[in-house]
Structure 1
Amino acid sequence: MRRLATRMVGLVALGAALAGPMLPGTVAGAQAAGCRNTGNFDSWLRDFRAEAQAQGLSRRTISSALDGLRFDPSIVRKDRAQGVFSQPFLKFSNRMVSSYRMKHGTRLLRENAAEFADLERTYGVPGPVIVGFWGLETDFGANIGNLPVLNSLATLAFDCRRPDLFRTQLMSALKIIERGDLRADQMIGAWAGELGQLQFLPKDYYELGVDYNRNGRVDLLREVPDVLASGAALIKSHGWRANEPWLVEVRVPRSMPWEQAGLEVHHRESTWSKWGVTRRDGSPLKSTGLESSLLLPMGRNGPAFLAYPNFDVYLQWNQSFVYATTAAYFATRLAGAPPRFAGNDKVDVLSFDQTKQLQRVLEARGYDVGGVDGMIGAKTRDSVRDVQAKLGLPVDGYPTQSLLRRLSGN
């Protein structure tokens, strides 16, 4: 999930099973997950009141926002629990890109066609991209959260894990109240402080929210025109390039230089074609003149995509590789692409516990996997690539049960 210079969304619509958003500083935050809170919350809150007053916020706003806030340990527990994004891409995308979301998203695109056309002219962002995030974040506004955002933000700003990030968010929430967009009691949302139908963190809400219907306030909870325009503005702020693709499904051969796969490697379509990569139907790749990366979310035997520069926007929205790929894939489906191909062969998937076991084995060999968290992030993939190369295996960066057995000596 993203809204910030790399925020990560709340995904309220996924339900209680989701641990919550991955936000800026997630890697450092994971390293600080074992930190211990010291000090007194009430004393901290008094200091924050003084800071808000020094920034020119009115006593009325400060009182309405901060009176009665308390430290909530349940929010801290949610912040420490990160597990949903450990799911493999096929499982996660099958769940998220449901028939309901496809039908409802397609209908919303049709019913709001004029507005989406205007937003694309203004911001360069296609309607399916906005609707894809809208559907995944809150089921198109049906599930925006039910927790008091101000209390959550204060708790996380006091907590030792990422205090600076959430202190900024709490101050931005007060500025939203001061501007007259929302009252304090209307700030109901997700546990990590996201607000509205696209789950904006308060700083993005305050700085990038658009009063598209010109009624004098930015309302991202109830006003759909404001929601969609603000989403387009946020996506553009992340560097979206108009009239360019973001993700295209492809087929890969049984053998190719697998070390060329990954977001850090870029080639033009002519190079991918030389190595046997084709369009999904087997026809030659279309030439866009752009460089792209070969994305193999489940290794060389699973689904395959070419990721273009616009795909980076998805990773800014949510740093989870699985979420970003699913959101981008959902947008291609809404834009008319068929359901994705499962891949060339059965994928040897590790369980959550097996992934953690692999990470421990790699750490014991001196690799930095970014923490033993059961999630196949960039550092784990890089470590797997290196060990695959040393063992003479195809270097696709995807860990398998056979690799785990080999490294474990079984």
Structure 2
Amino acid sequence: MRRLFAVVALLAGFLLVPTRSDAAVVNVAPWATATASYTSPWENVAAINDGVDPSRSNDLRNRRWGTWPQAGEQWALLTWPSAQTISSTQVYFFDDGGGVREPVSWRLQSWDGAAYADIPAAYPVTVDGYVTASFPAVTTTRLRIVLESGKAAVGLLEVKAFADTAAAAQSGWNPPAALVTPLDEVWRHTETGDRDPYGFRNFGWDQIMANGGSINYCVRWDSPAPVSAELRDRIHAALGRSFGKWMNVMAGHDGWPYAEVPVKVVGWAVRDRATLQWDDDSVDVYVGDMRENAPQCAEPCGRFFNQSGAYPDCPGGPSHHYDMSLWLTAGMDGGAGGDWGQRVGSEYLVDNLGSDDIHILLHEIGHGFGLDDFYDWTPTGQCCFLMKAGSATSITEFDAWMLRDLWRHLKSRYGY
């Protein structure tokens, strides 16, 4: 087994991302960076475009954006790296019945390069459901949602911005001029590495393409700590957010065919069934199957062990297969990653489930797509980026362009 691992210093069955749309429009909000006029310290503005549909306006289980105690005019802003042509939005207001209530009114503004301009439209207000605003298409890199509060503060649970798929898709290879040289250096280093990027066929790219635009995981719980159904769901959600961050930088870029890549956790592997404190059948459970002295999900269901993509001996059939493992090990510092999946400390992950950027997990997911480590060299002009372990804690512009460059060189084998 060729080792594509990273060991880094420790620095400090659910749909987790929106499904791919085959309609004429696509929600481009997940591709944007969210900021706000003000965010309560316990809230997170990144919630507004994380792809999680709320159950109600007083949804306290998932992340949300709120401005308590700030009232008056407040705004949330979506910023894209390139212009998007948007013709409608849906917003879901946060209303906890107390300090945060639905706005008295709201409106959208687009950035024209010099200032924000109001977008004429009808702007209804309601709770416990999305409200839609439609308008003649505007092309912009920034969309601002402006909320006028009453006596309470305001907030949002989710925002969707819909663009025509043809207009949303970028084409060609257009990195910033300052990144052309370092990207070329990275690719030449990849070509001469110990894994032939052209011949190897189990990158994350291969797995997503084989599934038609999705990916399956199995969790290896290498810890005696009990796992409640709530903790299970939070682990699934954190994994989906982290994987989705890499997919968001690909959406609409250079022929990449998927607006979103759904992540589904199909199984858990444990030493003792009693560790898992749920009785539902939402995921397969594997007990006592050991590999590398750790619980192992059934090998007949794993793509790493069946790279032909056939799973004739997988219990439940091919739909129960897993492409990668999330291996959570008690007491582990740092992490490891490759085409087989990611390994991080179980305590580290659990302690960071509410974090927007679980940086060690993000780093290891990058290895699954073929991104390298930079232990002994640094590309020209670059200093700090996620794949250079210890120098950044989130996906940077350079990380994003390295991922896109891998796609540029490998996409022909998938017919793109």
TM-score for the superposition, normalised by structure 2: 0.26
Structure whose residues are more often strand by fraction: 2
TM-score for the superposition, normalised by structure 1: 0.26
